[in-house]
Structures are given as C-alpha cells and as structure tokens.
Amino acid sequence: MNVEVVAVGTELLLGQIVDTNSSWIGEQLALVGLNSHFQTKVGDNLGRIVDTLSRALERSDAVIVCGGLGPTQDDLTREALAELAGEQLDEDETMIDTITAMFGERGRRMPMNNLNQARKPASAEFIPVQPGTAPGLVLPLQKGVVYAVPGVPWEMKEMLSGYVLSDLSRRSGDPAAIASRTLRTWGESESGLDELLAPRMAELDQLGNPTLAFLASGVEGLKVRITAKAADTATATSIVDDEADRLRTLLGPLVFGTDHDNMESAVLAMLEARGHTLGVAESLTGGLLGSRLASVPGASAVFRGGIVAYHPEVKQQLLDVPVGPVVTETVALAMARGACARLGTEVGLATTGVAGPDALEGHSPGTVCMAAVWPGGEAAITLKLPGGRQQVREFACISVLDLLRRRLMTDDA
Amino acid sequence: MNVEVVAVGTELLLGQIVDTNSSWIGEQLALVGLNSHFQTKVGDNLGRIVDTLSRALERSDAVIVCGGLGPTQDDLTREALAELAGEQLDEDETMIDTITAMFGERGRRMPMNNLNQARKPASAEFIPVQPGTAPGLVLPLQKGVVYAVPGVPWEMKEMLSGYVLSDLSRRSGDPAAIASRTLRTWGESESGLDELLAPRMAELDQLGNPTLAFLASGVEGLKVRITAKAADTATATSIVDDEADRLRTLLGPLVFGTDHDNMESAVLAMLEARGHTLGVAESLTGGLLGSRLASVPGASAVFRGGIVAYHPEVKQQLLDVPVGPVVTETVALAMARGACARLGTEVGLATTGVAGPDALEGHSPGTVCMAAVWPGGEAAITLKLPGGRQQVREFACISVLDLLRRRLMTDDA
C-alpha cells in the first residue's frame, strides 16, 4: 500500500515554517510497513490543493493531507475535499456543539468563524480523535482514501497515532506484522557503534531479518533501531526481543534505554529503584535540566526541585559556593552538594560553564563543568561541548545525567 | 515566474532527515520575488524522479532539484536530467581534472566512482560555483530550465546564492524587490485576529500590495507577516514600515515584538529598560521558564535565577509558602514573592498547577495558577491550558511572561 503526504500552507513554501510534519508522518508510515513515494507541499490555493490531491490519488492508495483545517478564509482543505467528493460542505450540528463546548471549557470567547470547522462533505466522517478545536476528516473515494489532519504538530500526531495509522493498516490488509525497537545509546560515535556491531550486522545481512538501522539524533544520542517482519506480531516481537538482548550485550553501558526512554527517565528510574531523591543546581543550563527531569511523568517521586543560580551571588547565597571563578569542577561539586543540602535530597547534580556566545573567565563557549554527588560518592568532569548556545546547554544536561548513570552502574558492578 | 523545488532522497521520505533545504530555498525565492507553488520530495527512483520533474516543468517555469548528485548508484539526478533532455551522459574531461585535483588538495584518495560526478548530458552546463566535489548542473529545456544542486546544505546554499538565484532573476526579467516583517502576537485566537484585521485586509485585497498572512505558531503565538513588493528595496521596506505601524495600532497590546523577538526577549528588554532584575519560582514548569529566559543572549543583565520547587516541602522551606493546597493563586503569589526575597530581585514570576497526566487536588491537567510581582503591583491568574504535559508547561511559561508584560504596559499607560 502506497501512502502519500500532502502538506498545505503557503508559509511552508515561503520557508517561514520547516515542514517537520511530513518527516514525522513518513517515519511512522515506514514503521508500520507502509510505502511512501512522494511528499508534496502546496500553498493555500484551492485549485492547486485539488490538483495535488487528485494527482496523489492517481498514483497512491491513500493520502494524508496536513494543514488547512483552521477556521479562516485561507484554510481550504475542507473545500478541496468537497470538490474531490463532488459534494457541498454542510455544517454538522454535533460538531458545532463539540467545538462550542471546547471553547467554553477553556473560558475563551468563540469567534463565529470557528463554526467553519464543523463543516464537512456528506461522504466524509470526522476522525474520532480530536485533540484541538479542528476536527480531522476521513474521506473514502473510489480511487482511495484521504485523511485530513491539522497542521499543528501535537494535534496531527495525536490523530495519526490514535486513528489514522491503525485505520491504514486495517485497510492495507497486509498480513505481515512488523515489530521494532530502538536502543538508545550515549557516549560513542556512529562509526564507533558501527565497528562494535559490524560482525553482527554482517550476519544479519545474510539472514535478512531482523534489520538494523542507526539514527544519529544529536543531543538525544544515537539510536539503533531493530525491525523485524513475521507472520504475526508475537513472532515479530520475539525476534526483536532476542536481537535487543544480543545488542545490549555487545554495547554494554552505552545503552541507556529503549524506545520512549530518554536519559532523564533512565536516571530517574535508577534513583527510584534505590529510594533516592534528586535535586539540581544549574548555572548555564538555566533550568533546562530541571525542566527535562520534570517532563518525565511520575518524576515527582524522585525529583524534588532545583536552584537556578544564574548570577554568581545566587550561587554564593543559596548554594554556599565560595566567592571566585565559577567555571571550575570545585564550584560544580559545591553546587551539587548545595542542592542536596537546600533541597533535602540524597543525590545532587550541577552544571556551570560557558554557553556563549562570549568567553567567560578565559574559557571558550562550550566549556562546561559538571558534578554529581550521591550516597557514597561524588564525581566531576569538564567537557568542551560543540554547537551554539542552546545545543551546549542540551549537551550539558544529558552529559551530567550520564555521568551519574555511569557511576551508579559502576557502583553496582 | 514560477519556480518549483524538488528534493530527492529516500531518507527524506522515511523521515530520517528533515528536508530543511526546500524551506531555505523557498525563503530565498520569496525574497527575490519569485513565486513558488509546489515543493515535492521524491525517493531515489529514476522513474519517479523523471515523472516529478516532468510534472513540475509542465506547471512551472523553472525547477530546482536538490540532492542525488553524489557518486553512488542511488544518486540518480544526473540520469533523470539525461532522460528529460533525451541525451546520454558523457564524461567531461575538464571536470574529471577538477574533481581529481580537489581530492588531491585534501590529501584524500579519490574512489573511482567519483568520476560519475563528471558526467552530464550534452545540453547541460556545469554550474560555475562548485563548493564540493559534486558539480551542479543547469539544463535549459524547451519548457523551462532545471537546476540540479547537491543535497548537502552548505554546498546547496553556496550554489544558490552564488549562481542560481541571480540566474533566475536574470531569466525572469522582474526588477521587483521584496521586503517583509513579522509581528509577533499573543492573547488572541487566529479567528480573533482575523476579525480585528478584516477591514484592513479587505482594503489590502483591493490594493494588492502589501499582503498579510497569519501564521499560527502554537506556543509561540500567532505571527502576522507583512510582505511588500516594490521597484527597489528601500521602497518595499518603507511600505512594510507603514503597514507595521498601522497594524500595531489595530492590534494594540497583542503585539509583543517583531521578527526574531520572542516573549522572553520582549519581557527581559522591558525589565532592563526599567533597571529591574528578575527571579522565578517554578513548580509544574520545573525550570522551563528559567531555561527560556536564560536562552536569550544577554539575559544575565536581568535574570538572576530561579527556585524549582517541585516538591511541596521545597515550596514551604525555600519560598515560605504556607502548608496546604498548592494549585491556588495565593500559592502562586507567595512563590513569586518568595523568589524576589530569595534571589534578591525586584520582579518575581511563579507557576504552579497540574501538568498531567493525573489530576491534582481535584484540578484537571492543564489547570495552572500564575503570578507576577513587581515594584508597585502584583497579579495572579488561573488558566485552563490545552494539550499534553509538555505543551501545558510551555503555554504556562509564555502566559506568565505575558501577564507581567501586559501589567507593565498598563502601568505605563
């Protein structure tokens, strides 16, 4: 089954927004084993949207059209579907109630043009997952099926994951089941991983199933994705399980988690298993470390809080850091200890350094001192991290978490 | 003149790489006043590349095809151009020398397959700017012109800026210059803005120049983009300036900045102008507010730090919040005052609430209490914010910053 993606929006053509939606959809389609041969961006022009969709339906079995479902005059995807179906757009009373209720819940006045979003061609159905005020549409046509989803990424993703992908799989009737798992790694380059896994990859090239793929993900580390195909899901999953065990043995402590784990969730889980609580003290990361920890559901069982000591006086007054230079491992350790003391935790992490663009205390941007303290130990490192201001801060967060993770693993061994 | 962009590469369809090249090219085309109605991504398949290019040439005057110029077997753009021209690919002796010399200069062995890059159809010319080993091609056809450039972003950009864009302008014969400006707004829905600006948009529809576009940017608010065309850049800029002034009058305090401003930088600039320093106290945002403030270059002149009081005990011990429920405006105000006291600042901001997925103290996820205190005033609000855990936290950050911004503007008035 071939599925094509059409992204609607003049702002995409003008480069005001990078179309990350199509990339994400392409990745999801590949994961469920659906082919995707074309992706098109088209502006807010009814004739051109209809042309693009017609052309896509000629050569593919299904089309996902993303964007143009807002309430304003330049939101034309509904009109395009009506033209494809040869039908008019009619208001749906139930959907009017739904949208009105959504505005009511949020305590906001509903502009009348939002009722546009309740219109649909008779042969289309609303997608039963509706995270925002814009309902999605599914329109079965003689030549194939069109799914219209909003361009707002989180709304689009909820509709795809909650409805469109499974509906496509159902329609495709492909008896092959696919299972995949991603091992998350940190601390080795792509070529380094390639060397470690080369013998196993040569074996898998012979076998043909499962397959491995590397995915360089910047500050998220390197992902190793295992994909297996089999007659049923249980068999595919079992192949993936076996391969994951084998690769974990080969990669050792480089692997910090699987699939939706991230470094924060991995470290929080290790601490929760030990019954420890965590506090952080941040200078150049400015709250990013705490924010990443707090973004893990259930973080509150472990993470008590943090001190963002951006100004040197705050380091001294709240974290008992001595007056003097701040880009040192000694300061990082004092901050981590100060976090434990102030926040009443057993474990403390700290970052201090130079995010840039200017140098500080003679250190170039990217110089970061990090420290971890835990019952029975403490550690500090200085790294020279690559990239701009934001990237340095993100690398600093994952690096200090990995510092703690590795040391706790060593303590266990 | 209409120019279409085609990006070649199976990795783009699979979402392994986000196609930022097309967005960048789209932006450059708009800046020189060239229209761009379609952008297509196609995989490494000769038939589909030829189909896509043929279709693009039917409806546009020029096509920029990006990628597929490497030395390996899956680099098929040269073959596609040969098929479009109805010609064979011939090796060009001069280009063989050029590529061989490039490898020599870098002290690297040249794999023989790099000679593939010296092949071209007879009626195509090499693009005279060649930053890497992959030469670009320009192929004039009866129906239009095709430019083939590499997919490596820096090589593509040098070829576009150094040759393709000026060659296109020369061919189009259009002397028009373009200027644009984006007004950043917060606090009104897209349809609400549409209502406020409807009369002016009707006038502009008559005039035809400048044009307005709305860009919903989620937690970044709504952008209103003004674009003007004129005989020269100075005139276009002056048209944009006048329109921006007019829209600011219509939109009032909804506008918080222009172009590269964001809410953080806007608030920091207001506080710096007043000589005030800022501290934050965060519960559900977990450090995100501090992190966003710290991401503004030069933030340290205003932003002193924050207290991430994730656990209720930390709120009590570090921020003097009374024991009791934490999702209240009273607690938010106490936290903001506590931030000022602990961090030694004149201005304090605070967030507390329910990020989800579970309810807390009987409040559903998305319920957020926010407070701001400043010399001469304080304010608190409770909002019900949409979306998942991360989005609620991002909305909370921009909302509390906007609360302070609006109140400071009112104080000024």
Taking every pair of Cα atoms in chain A, the longest distance, rounded to a whole number of angstroms, is: 75
Residue A161 and residue A261: Cα distance in Å, rounded?
18
Q: Which residues of B touch A13 (CB under 8 A)?
A: 26, 30, 36-39
**DSSP-assigned letter for residue B299:** G
Query: Tell me, what's the pLDDT at A174?
Result: 66
Mark residue B138 as left, alpha or beta (left: phi above 0; alpha: psi -120 to 50; beta: remaining): beta
- A243 close to A224: Cβ distance less than 8 angstroms: no
pLDDT band at B342 (very low <50, low <70, confident <90, very high): very high
User: Rounded to the nearest 10 degrees, what angle do helices B329-343 and B312-319 cross at?
Assistant: 50
CATH code given to domain A177-258: 3.30.70.2860
Distance from CA of B2 to the nearest CA of A (A): 12
Residue A96 and residue A258: Cα distance in Å, rounded?
42
Among A40, A105, A310, select the one facing B303 at the smallest CB separation.
Answer: A310
CATH code given to domain A3-172: 3.40.980.10
- B290 close to A286: Cβ distance less than 8 angstroms: yes
pLDDT digits 0-9 by tens, B107-116: 777 778 888 8
Query: Tell me, what's the pLDDT at B384?
Result: 93
Among A11, A286, A390, select the one facing B290 at the smallest CB separation.
Answer: A286
Query: What percentage of chain A reaches a pLDDT higher than 90?
Result: 69
Among A28, A40, A304, select the one facing B38 at the smallest CB separation.
Answer: A40
- A349 close to A319: Cβ distance less than 8 angstroms: no
Of the ranges A169-183, A278-292, B119-133, B290-304, which one carries the lowest mean pLDDT score? Answer: A169-183
Q: Which of A45, A49, A291 to mutate to test the interface with B (most CBs of B within 10 A)?
A: A291
Residue B4 and residue A76: Cα distance in Å, rounded?
21
Query: What percentage of chain A reaches a pLDDT higher than 70?
Result: 99
pLDDT at A219 over 80: no
**How many interchain CB pairs under 8 A, A with B?**
277
pLDDT digits 0-9 by tens, A312-362: 999 999 999 999 999 999 999 999 999 999 999 999 999 999 988 889 999
pLDDT at B80 over 70: yes
Query: Tell me, what's the pLDDT at B76?
Result: 94
Of the ranges B121-125, B232-236, B330-334, B399-403, which one carries the lowest mean pLDDT score? Answer: B232-236
User: What superfamily does domain B263-412 belong to in CATH?
Assistant: CinA-like (3.90.950.20)
Q: Which residues of B touch A344 (CB under 8 A)?
A: 313-314, 317
Query: What percentage of chain B reaches a pLDDT higher than 70?
Result: 99
Q: What's the average model confidence in pLDDT over B137-146?
A: 94
Q: Which residues of A touch B37 (CB under 8 A)?
A: 13, 42-43, 45, 48
Query: Tell me, what's the pLDDT at B176?
Result: 67
Domains of chain B, residue spans: 3-172, 177-258, 263-412
Interface of A with B in 230-259 (CB under 8 A): none
Q: Is B276 on the interface with A (CB under 8 A)?
A: no
Q: Is A8 on the interface with B (CB under 8 A)?
A: no
pLDDT digits 0-9 by tens, B1-50: 899 999 999 889 988 788 999 999 998 888 777 889 999 999 999 999 99
Cβ A314–B343 below 8 Å, yes or no?
Answer: yes
Count of H helices and E strands in chain A? 14, 17
- B137 close to B126: Cβ distance less than 8 angstroms: yes
Q: For B270, what's the count of Cα atoms within 13 Å in the CB-facing half-sphere? A: 22
Cβ A297–B52 below 8 Å, yes or no?
Answer: no
Query: Tell me, what's the pLDDT at B191?
Result: 84
pLDDT band at A35 (very low <50, low <70, confident <90, very high): confident
Query: Tell me, what's the pLDDT at B81?
Result: 97
Contacts of B79 (CB under 8 A, 6+ apart): B46, B89
Cβ A310–B300 below 8 Å, yes or no?
Answer: yes
Whole-complex ipTM = 0.75
Q: Which stretches of B181-307 are DSSP H helices?
A: 190-207, 233-251, 263-274, 288-294
Query: Tell me, what's the pLDDT at A31?
Result: 75
Q: Which stretches of A32-179 are DSSP H helices?
A: 46-59, 77-85, 93-105, 153-159, 165-172
Residue B355 and residue B288: Cα distance in Å, rounded?
13
Query: Tell me, what's the pLDDT at A33?
Result: 74
Of the ranges A229-243, A274-288, B283-297, B394-408, which one carries the lowest mean pLDDT score? Answer: A229-243
- B43 close to B9: Cβ distance less than 8 angstroms: yes
Q: What's the average model confidence in pLDDT over A68-92?
A: 94
Distance from CA of B92 to the nearest CA of A (A): 32
pLDDT digits 0-9 by tens, B48-58: 999 999 999 99
DSSP symbols for A366-391: TEEEEEEEETTEEEEEEEE--SSHHH
Q: Which stretches of A208-367 are DSSP H helices?
A: 233-251, 263-274, 288-294, 312-319, 329-343
Distance from CA of B100 to the nearest CA of A (A): 26
pLDDT band at A183 (very low <50, low <70, confident <90, very high): very high
Interface of A with B in 132-191 (CB under 8 A): 132, 151-154
Give the helix/strand (H/E) hosting B94.
Answer: helix B93-105
- A36 close to A5: Cβ distance less than 8 angstroms: yes
Residue of B nearest to A342 (CA): B318
pLDDT digits 0-9 by tens, B201-259: 999 989 988 988 787 777 788 888 898 888 888 998 999 999 999 999 999 999 999 98
pLDDT digits 0-9 by tens, A92-151: 999 999 999 888 877 777 888 888 999 999 999 999 999 988 999 999 998 899 999 999
Query: Tell me, what's the pLDDT at A194?
Result: 81
Query: Tell me, what's the pLDDT at A176?
Result: 66
Query: What percentage of chain B reaches a pLDDT higher than 90?
Result: 68
Q: What's the average model confidence in pLDDT over B334-349?
A: 98
- B62 close to B146: Cβ distance less than 8 angstroms: yes
pLDDT digits 0-9 by tens, A380-394: 999 998 777 888 999
Distance from CA of A344 to the nearest CA of B (A): 8
Quote helix, strand, coil % in chain B, to nearest 5: 45, 25, 30
What's chain B's length in residues?
Answer: 413
Quote helix, strand, coil % in chain A, to nearest 5: 45, 25, 30
Name the amino acid, one letter, at B301. A
Between A191 and A29, name the one with better pLDDT.
A29
User: Helix, strand, or coil here: B149?
Assistant: strand
Burial of A214 (0-12, 13-18, 19+ CB in 10 A): middle
Of the ranges A242-246, B225-229, B400-404, which one carries the lowest mean pLDDT score? Answer: B225-229
Query: Tell me, what's the pLDDT at B183?
Result: 95
Cβ A72–B291 below 8 Å, yes or no?
Answer: no
Q: Is B45 on the interface with A (CB under 8 A)?
A: yes
pLDDT at B175 over 70: no
Q: Is A291 on the interface with B (CB under 8 A)?
A: yes
Residue B321 and residue A248: Cα distance in Å, rounded?
47
Please say whether the dihedral angle defined by the alpha carbons of residues B263, B266, B271 and B275, taken in this order, is positive or negative. positive
- Which contacts (CB < 8 Å, 24+ apart) does range A260-266 have? A261/A184, A262/A184, A262/A220, A262/A292, A262/A296, A263/A184, A263/A186, A263/A221, A263/A398, A263/A401, A263/A402, A263/A405, A264/A292, A264/A293, A264/A295, A264/A296, A264/A299, A264/A401, A265/A296, A266/A184, A266/A401, A266/A405
**DSSP-assigned letter for residue B364:** P
Q: Which residues of B touch A11 (CB under 8 A)?
A: 213, 215, 225
The residues facing A378 across adjacent strands are A373
pLDDT digits 0-9 by tens, A260-283: 899 999 999 999 999 999 999 999
Residue A338 and residue A330: Cα distance in Å, rounded?
12
Distance from CA of B93 to the nearest CA of A (A): 35
CB atoms near residue A3 (< 10 Å): 28
Burial of A54 (0-12, 13-18, 19+ CB in 10 A): middle
Interface of B with A in 52-91 (CB under 8 A): 52, 55
Ramachandran angles phi, psi of B42, nearest 5°: -135, 150
State the average pLDDT for chain A: 92
Residue A378 and residue A349: Cα distance in Å, rounded?
10
Residue of A nearest to B279 (CA): A308
Rounded to the nearest angstrom, the gap between the alpha carbon of residue A51 and the centroid of all alpha carbons in its chain is 33
